[in-house]
Amino acid sequence: MDYPESVALVDVGPRDGLQNEKQPIAAADKIALVHRLQAAGLKRVEVTSFVSPKWVPQMADNTEVMAGIDRQPGVAYSVLTPNMKGYEAALPSRPDEIVVFGAASEAFSQRNINCSIEESIERFRPVVEAAQAAGIHVRGAISCALGCPYEGEVAPSRVARVAGLMKDIGVQHVGVADTIGTGTPLKTQRALEAAFKHYAVREVSGHFHDTYGQALSNTLAALELGVWQFDTSVAGLGGCPYAKGATGNVATEDVVYLLHGMGIETGIDLEALADTGAWISGVLGRQTQSRVGRALLARRAG
Amino acid sequence: MDYPESVALVDVGPRDGLQNEKQPIAAADKIALVHRLQAAGLKRVEVTSFVSPKWVPQMADNTEVMAGIDRQPGVAYSVLTPNMKGYEAALPSRPDEIVVFGAASEAFSQRNINCSIEESIERFRPVVEAAQAAGIHVRGAISCALGCPYEGEVAPSRVARVAGLMKDIGVQHVGVADTIGTGTPLKTQRALEAAFKHYAVREVSGHFHDTYGQALSNTLAALELGVWQFDTSVAGLGGCPYAKGATGNVATEDVVYLLHGMGIETGIDLEALADTGAWISGVLGRQTQSRVGRALLARRAG
């Protein structure tokens, strides 16, 4: 088996992880989280979302957070932009990358953004054009690529279709996202291969949720196809909005442990990362969702 | 990749899972747990341990539990026998299989059973001979095969050595156990290959702990070598005695979900299994440690 020699992780904790938190989180804490992540060696961080505060009040401080970051050379800061208004609001914050999105499930698209998949992608066309004119990298997130809370199974052909639509409007990279965490290794490989119909391996990343505990085996399955980019969330920040009380994003710590154990480089200091996970979990008044984080804490406690 | 068409799981929850519980658990609950597991489709259950109640008080009811089981045809009931005295105590309970054990780490052997690895295996020789004369299958557990709480990394050659010693005294099957859960996929494959030096693939099983969240990816790595037998524990019963507060055995539910998602048969009804996990967790006054169990409960709750 030919595994990648190194892997690049995008920590989506500050955005995807925190966006559904009901409790107020100070902008200073969000900024500190980004600082700790980059100090631990993360080279890509999804910082915030430029979405209406009516829909996602937790991200209302987007401009403040972006302005507060002490940017490090070599680190890319990305933001979610759901539409042209969001893009225009994000622009003064100089993101290195914007993230646009579409669902692989028609039912999910209709119920979540009230339009068809095709319409939803088409609406991003001017956003992508504007970003490219401004030299900003565009990443596309394909949600529900491995299962839908309304439709259940999602065929790989649906993933290929969204990938094709994204390619058509100029999106440079796609993330295959298991939004509800129901995916398993072979399904993951089929979904990634569907994305490969329109994108090179280096333009595809995996975004796996750990709701059913499958995220690391799906990551292993993706590595076996040569995929070397993944979205992860420190401390496993982020719940699963479709299964109350269940976990969401896979913890960055758990993925780093897997990779380092396989001799795959990440450039990340696991101990510093686990400290970051413990710290932000403390800010939120809970235990870290990362199994590695818990095990390392338990080991230190003796 | 050629994955096995079907997989056999040994649920070790009643023994390995419950043995370190400090609170009293009624024999009736242990018996009910075995009944529920076999009703959910488990064909192999590790029921109890015939060890001195001074060392493991939780297993003092071993004879009562074995006597209380309504045995199903086609289901094998195994017990741990740490020595000849334990074997003789177990015999009237008519176990289908006994489990003997040895560590791949010399330091672990010395600190846990106060003798060398070689001595510990040699002491099992009369036990194995007696079991074989009585037509009882003998399984050997190789602990610390992927890491030791005292020595850290454990070389595959150490696993091969213990496997060879076990083969020499007549042990018919070996389980490669990641006692502290620090293993990752490639290390897991190296340890299994070490066991293959003395045992056929059909005589080797994987026993992975989920302390660092790696158990499912290690299971996937084992499946890729053709291994089709695994020890798992319903609800993830069992902590990690070397990392307080950390989880132990991988949850049967999580492994079954992985396997079914890959089209690999187990004969197990996942919903009934998850109910069993929720029930025994309730008996213990805690939440299930199984991610699949939690996600299914959350989904049912809407």
Secondary structure element (H or E) that encloses residue A81, with its range: none
Compare all CA atoms of chain B with the CA of A236 and give the residue at the minimum distance: B213
Compare all CA atoms of chain B with the CA of A147 and give the residue at the minimum distance: B261
Using the Cβ of B208 and the Cβ atoms of chain A, whether some distance falls under 8 Å is answered with no
A291 vs B210, B294, B298: nearest CB: B210
Residue with token string 């066991």: B195
Chain A residues within an 8 Å CB radius of B262: 184-186
Record: contact B212-A291, CB cut-off 8 A: yes
Residue A244: pLDDT above 90?
Answer: no
**Shortest Cα distance from B208 to chain A (angstroms)?**
14
Chain A residues within an 8 Å CB radius of B258: 184-185, 214, 217
Between A and B, how many CB-CB pairs are < 8 A? 126
Record: contact B246-A217, CB cut-off 8 A: no
Please give the average per-residue pLDDT across A94-99, as a whole number.
98
What is the distance between the alpha carbons of residues B250 and B266, in angstroms, rounded to a whole number? Answer: 16
Among candidate residues A115, A144, A148, A240, the one labeled active-site is: A240
Comparing B244 with B102, the larger pLDDT belongs to B102
Record: contact A298-B245, CB cut-off 8 A: yes
Q: Give the pLDDT confidence score for residue B207 in this predicted structure.
A: 98
Chain B residues within an 8 Å CB radius of A186: 261-263
**Shortest Cα distance from A240 to chain B (angstroms)?**
9
Contact call for residues B127 and B100 (beta carbons, < 8 A): yes
Pick the CATH number of B8-301 from 2.60.40.650, 3.40.190.10, 3.20.20.70, 3.30.56.10: 3.20.20.70
- Could you tell me the pLDDT band of residue B243, with boundaries at 50, 70 and 90? low
Using the Cβ of A254 and the Cβ atoms of chain B, whether some distance falls under 8 Å is answered with yes
Q: Give the pLDDT confidence score for residue B247 in this predicted structure.
A: 76
The predicted-structure confidence for A197-209, as pLDDT tens digits, reads as follows 999 999 999 999 9
The predicted-structure confidence for B164-177, as pLDDT tens digits, reads as follows 999 999 999 999 99
Compare all CA atoms of chain B with the CA of A240 and give the residue at the minimum distance: B295
Please give the average per-residue pLDDT across B54-79, as a whole number.
97
What is the distance between the alpha carbons of residues B288 and B273, in angstroms, rounded to a whole number? Answer: 12
Record: contact A213-B181, CB cut-off 8 A: no
Residue A291: pLDDT above 70?
Answer: yes
Contact call for residues B121 and B165 (beta carbons, < 8 A): yes
**Shortest Cα distance from A153 to chain B (angstroms)?**
11
Record: contact A186-B247, CB cut-off 8 A: no
Residue B285: pLDDT above 90?
Answer: yes
Query: Three-state DSSP class for A178?
Result: strand
A70 burial (CB, 10 Å; 0-12 / 13-18 / 19+) is exposed
Record: contact B221-A220, CB cut-off 8 A: yes
Q: Give the pLDDT confidence score for residue A246 in this predicted structure.
A: 67
Please give the average per-residue pLDDT across B236-265, as a whole number.
89
**Shortest Cα distance from B254 to chain A (angstroms)?**
7
Please give the average per-residue pLDDT across B28-45, as a whole number.
98
Interface of A with B in 97-156 (CB under 8 A): none
Which of these, A119, A98, A122, lies nearest to A109 by C-alpha position?
A: A119
As a whole number of Å, the CA-based R_g of chain B is: 18
Record: contact A185-B257, CB cut-off 8 A: no
Q: Give the pLDDT confidence score for residue A138 in this predicted structure.
A: 98
Chain A residues within an 8 Å CB radius of B211: 291, 295
Q: In the annotation, is A240 catalytic?
A: yes
Domain boundaries, chain A: 8-301
What is the distance between the alpha carbons of residues A253 and A230, in angstroms, rounded to a whole number? Answer: 13
Record: contact B213-A244, CB cut-off 8 A: no
Q: Where are the alpha helices (DSSP H) in chain A?
A: 27-39, 62-68, 84-90, 106-113, 117-122, 125-133, 156-169, 185-195, 215-223, 252-261, 270-283, 291-301
**Shortest Cα distance from B149 to chain A (angstroms)?**
10
Compare all CA atoms of chain A with the CA of B183 and give the residue at the minimum distance: A261
Helices then strands, counting H and E runs in chain A, come out as 12, 8
What is the distance between the alpha carbons of residues A157 and A154, in angstroms, rounded to a whole number? Answer: 8
What is the distance between the alpha carbons of residues B302 and B132, in angstroms, rounded to a whole number? Answer: 52
A229's CB contacts (< 8 A; 6+ apart) are: A7, A8, A9, A10, A202, A204, A205, A206
Record: contact B290-A216, CB cut-off 8 A: no
B301 vs A221, A244, A294: nearest CB: A244
Residue B59: pLDDT above 90?
Answer: yes
ipTM: 0.95
The predicted-structure confidence for A201-238, as pLDDT tens digits, reads as follows 999 999 999 999 999 999 999 999 999 999 999 999 99
Secondary structure element (H or E) that encloses residue A201, with its range: none
Chain A residues within an 8 Å CB radius of B300: none
A261 vs B187, B246, B258: nearest CB: B187
Chain A residues within an 8 Å CB radius of B278: none
Question: Which of A216, A240, A273 is the mutation pick for testing B, counting most B CBs within 10 A?
Answer: A216
Contact call for residues A143 and A177 (beta carbons, < 8 A): yes
Using the Cβ of B252 and the Cβ atoms of chain A, whether some distance falls under 8 Å is answered with no
Q: Give the pLDDT confidence score for residue B244 in this predicted structure.
A: 67
Interface of B with A in 163-192 (CB under 8 A): 181-187
As a whole number of Å, the CA-based R_g of chain A is: 18
